[in-house]
């Protein structure tokens, strides 16, 4: 195992994202109907819990590089995972809105400190080739949480209570934190190893030619803008799918099923996209996945006619395409940066991504009131997808 310890590190990244992103964000929607039913919380309070968590995670990301300068990755990720446990324990004992909001603050910090920035840094340290595959496998963690946790949580809530569901997730986070602390290592050199490099890797030469590319200040701003657009369609694209379908006349139960289909496609696509990045190169793989995404967003607009077949195709394509928000984000932030500024570049990329996602989680409601339809938002997202694709492909142009 020692000679293949990069697999252990990848498994730790999977667990970190399962807890710090999956529990805090991907699967958290299952709790919303129950939270808003708590006396004194209501719909406004329930929305405030989610919005505050997103806002805190965005603010925390500003300081994530300083956090890991003060703490090594092993300790830092372990602490972030413990913060997720604390957040869920606070939720579990909450009987009023202020305590739910306090839990959201702690959970938001856990998401920012223990999410994609940390795992991207770890993959960069432990893998010299096969980075896309490693990122894809790790990022599947949050997707698995989105598939497994809602079903399990709903059973606990119905069989026992909302409080017990939160507390059990808190206990799970504590166990995972202990596992991460026991097995995660900061660098290969800590074990007398070197970063993993697969012999004969078909993408190795391409990865080396792209990694550390020097972007001009203008190009760097454009890339950050593209990542903000990526955050917009990755977060907003899925968040409003169900209500888009229902508003288009599709049965609510079938719309919920389509949301599950999207989650499954996203989970599978994370691994497939990582493989594509390694096998055919980042530029071509990015172009393929952007094409799938834009087709999905256009189909979302067409689904307004109420066609279930179009809605199914839209759910599949959007689910597959938004894997760019995890795999693409990590690989781009590594390859479109220079070694001496890589940690700061990863942080800035995550900040741009989160800012775009935050804005697109706020806009669809007001746009619906202004235009009378959610199609407007998906039309905007389709345009943003095309623009982001153009910028990323331009950044990866032959030099």
Q: For residue range 278-322, what is the model confidence (pLDDT) as tens digits?
A: 888 889 999 999 999 999 999 999 987 778 889 999 999 998 999
**Of the ranges 19-28, 104-113, 351-360, the best mean pLDDT one:** 104-113
pLDDT > 90 fraction of the chain, expressed in percent and rounded: 36
Q: What is the mean pLDDT of residues 116-141?
A: 84
pLDDT value at residue 198? 67
pLDDT tens digits, one per residue of 237-247: 877 777 788 78
pLDDT value at residue 212? 57
pLDDT tens digits, one per residue of 191-209: 887 787 766 555 444 444 4
Task: Confirm if 289 and 318 have CB atoms less than 8 A apart.
Answer: no
* 157-160-164-166 Cα dihedral, nearest 10 degrees: 0
pLDDT value at residue 31? 82
pLDDT tens digits, one per residue of 360-371: 877 887 888 788
Task: Confirm if 121 and 68 have CB atoms less than 8 A apart.
Answer: yes
Mean residue pLDDT of the chain comes to 86
Q: What is the mean pLDDT of residues 260-272?
A: 86
pLDDT value at residue 127? 85
pLDDT value at residue 1? 53
Q: pTM (2 decimals)?
A: 0.79
């Amino acid at each position: 195992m020692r000679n293949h310890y990069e697999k252990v590190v990848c498994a730790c990244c999977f667990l970190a994202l399962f807890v710090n992103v999956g529990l805090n964000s991907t699967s958290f929607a299952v709790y919303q109907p129950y939270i808003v039913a708590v006396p004194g919380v209501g719909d406004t309070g329930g929305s405030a819990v989610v919005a505050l968590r997103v806002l805190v995670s965005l603010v925390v990301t500003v300081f994530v590089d300083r956090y890991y300068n003060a703490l090594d990755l092993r300790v830092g990720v372990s602490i972030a995972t413990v913060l997720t446990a604390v957040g869920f324990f606070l939720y579990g004992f909450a009987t009023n809105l202020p305590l739910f909001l306090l839990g959201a603050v702690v959970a938001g910090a856990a998401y920012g400190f223990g999410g994609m920035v940390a795992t991207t840094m770890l993959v960069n340290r432990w893998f010299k080739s096969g980075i896309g595959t490693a990122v894809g496998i790790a990022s599947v963690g949050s997707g698995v949480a989105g598939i497994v946790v809602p079903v399990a949580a709903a059973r606990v809530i119905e069989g026992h209570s909302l409080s017990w569901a939160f507390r059990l997730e808190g206990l799970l986070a504590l166990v995972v934190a202990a596992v991460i602390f026991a097995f995660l290592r900061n660098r290969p050199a800590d074990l007398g190893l070197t970063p993993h490099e697969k012999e004969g890797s078909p993408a190795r030469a391409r990865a080396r030619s792209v990694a550390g590319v020097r972007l001009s200040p203008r190009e760097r701003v454009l890339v950050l803008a593209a990542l903000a657009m990526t955050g917009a369609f990755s977060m907003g694209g899925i968040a409003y799918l169900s209500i888009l379908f229902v508003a288009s006349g599709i049965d609510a139960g079938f719309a919920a099923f389509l949301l599950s289909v999207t989650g499954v496609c996203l989970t599978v696509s994370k691994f497939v996209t990582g493989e594509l990045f390694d096998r055919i190169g980042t530029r071509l793989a990015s172009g393929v996945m952007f094409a799938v995404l834009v087709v999905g967003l256009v189909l979302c607009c067409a689904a307004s006619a109420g066609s279930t077949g179009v809605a199914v195709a839209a759910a599949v394509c959007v689910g597959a395409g938004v894997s760019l928000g995890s795999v693409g984000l990590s690989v781009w932030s590594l390859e479109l940066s220079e070694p001496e500024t890589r940690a700061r570049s990863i942080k800035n990329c995550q900040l741009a991504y989160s800012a775009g996602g935050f804005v697109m989680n706020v806009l669809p409601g007001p746009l619906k009131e202004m235009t009378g339809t959610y199609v407007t938002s998906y039309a905007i997202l389709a345009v943003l997808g095309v623009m982001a694709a153009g910028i990323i492909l331009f950044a990866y142009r032959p030099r």
